[in-house]
Amino acid sequence: MARCRAGDAEAFGELVAPFRRELMVHCYRFLGSMHDAEDALQETLLDAWKGLGAFEARSSVRTWLYRVATNRCLKMLRTADRRPRMAIPGAGAARFELPEPSAHGEVVWLEPYPDVLLEGLGDPAPGPEARYESAQAISLAFVTAVQYLPPRQRAVLILRDVLGYRAADVAEFLDTTEESVTSALKRARAGMQRRAPKLGAQQPPPPPGSPAERRLVDRLTRAFESCDVDGVVALLADDVRLTMPPLPVEYLGREAVTRFQAAVFARAPSYRLVATRANGQPAFGVYLLDSGTSLWHATGLMVLTLAADRITALTRFDNSILARFGLPRTLPG
């Protein structure tokens, strides 16, 4: 710290290096986007470097960095229209016409988080008041629900229920009172319950890489690559949800997802799935065969949410995030 205060940038890099990955995840939970989280992390480190003189060492370096990161994310959230809004594409705008959705939801900017960046990142001693396990707090269901909360409620929920900081600590982070923190947390928990009522209540997913998970993934892969609608639908929960952020459409329940999947398979006879992982869940790069060139062209990334032996959610993302998962835009025939 003495070297840092003397202006040694290399020493500062050594000081913050152990916390960069967990701070990145913290920013991602706030912002729902890896791109925005990377920007927030860089700004956090710059803010910390500039603010070293104000660090009085009354807390740990880790706690201080979380305070700086939290306030940087709050500043970003207050910036209007961080991402452009997207309308539902019509037949002329989309590569294929979407079936009528079950609902037109609110637009939420969301990107998946590669599991490879979570490897070896354990729970860094969350406080005793944390309510969410680390795997649950990185899931798409959790991150999506968080995005609907107002900025201050979002901060309080993450700091209290994910990281386990005491109300007094959070009040200091946010320069407010404990009463204000308690009130914001109550509202945030109610908002999470409305948006993701199954968080913590559904049957747990099979452990990552377990035989049960592999069986489910293998069955889905075979059915999808065979364009077998019935085979895919047989793996779905009755209340399955299909979304395509940031498009404001939702397909709710087996019947609606069946209509969507039938439209996907009618589009072309040949698909290939390339397995990967996102947000602690199985995921796939989805490729469509071009019969003219015999090349497989990417159509996006699909992330599964599992409960027991069923798929409870399918979340489809476009090609813009494939590179983060090491997936190419085309595969050879």
d(CA 195, CA 193): 6
**48-85 burial by CB neighbour count: b if 16+ within 10 A, else e?**
bbeeeeebeeeeebeebbbbbbbbbbbebbeeeeeeee
Say what percent of the chain tops pLDDT 70: 90
d(CA 154, CA 157): 5
pLDDT of residue 107: 62
Give 331's Cβ-side CA count (13 Å radius): 16
Taking 50 as the threshold, does the pLDDT of residue 90 lie above it?
Answer: no
Query: In a 3-state reduction of DSSP, which class is residue 135?
Result: coil
Mean pLDDT of 228-233: 96
Q: Report which DSSP code applies to 35.
A: H
Sorting pLDDT into bands at 50, 70 and 90, what band is 121? Answer: confident
Average pLDDT, the chain: 89
pLDDT of residue 93: 36
| pTM confidence score | 0.90
Mean pLDDT of 82-102: 57
pLDDT of residue 88: 46
Stretch among 35-39, 81-85, 135-139, 303-307 having the lowest mean pLDDT: 81-85
pLDDT of residue 125: 59
pLDDT of residue 124: 59
Taking 70 as the threshold, does the pLDDT of residue 80 lie above it?
Answer: no
Mean pLDDT of 148-169: 95
Q: Which helix (H) or strand (E) holds 313?
A: strand 310-317
pLDDT of residue 14: 94
pLDDT of residue 92: 36
Residue range 268-322, pLDDT digits in tens: 779 999 999 999 999 999 999 998 888 999 999 999 999 999 999 999 999 999 9
> Long-range contacts for 122-131 (Cβ within 8 Å, ≥24 apart)?
124/22, 124/62, 126/162, 126/163, 126/164, 127/163, 127/164, 127/165, 127/166, 128/164, 129/160, 129/161, 129/164, 129/165, 129/166, 130/160, 130/161, 130/162, 130/163, 130/164, 131/161, 131/162
Residue range 58-77, pLDDT digits in tens: 788 999 999 999 999 999 99
pLDDT of residue 98: 80
Torsion sign (Cα): 323, 327, 332, 333: negative
Say what percent of the chain tops pLDDT 90: 70
Mean pLDDT of 24-33: 96
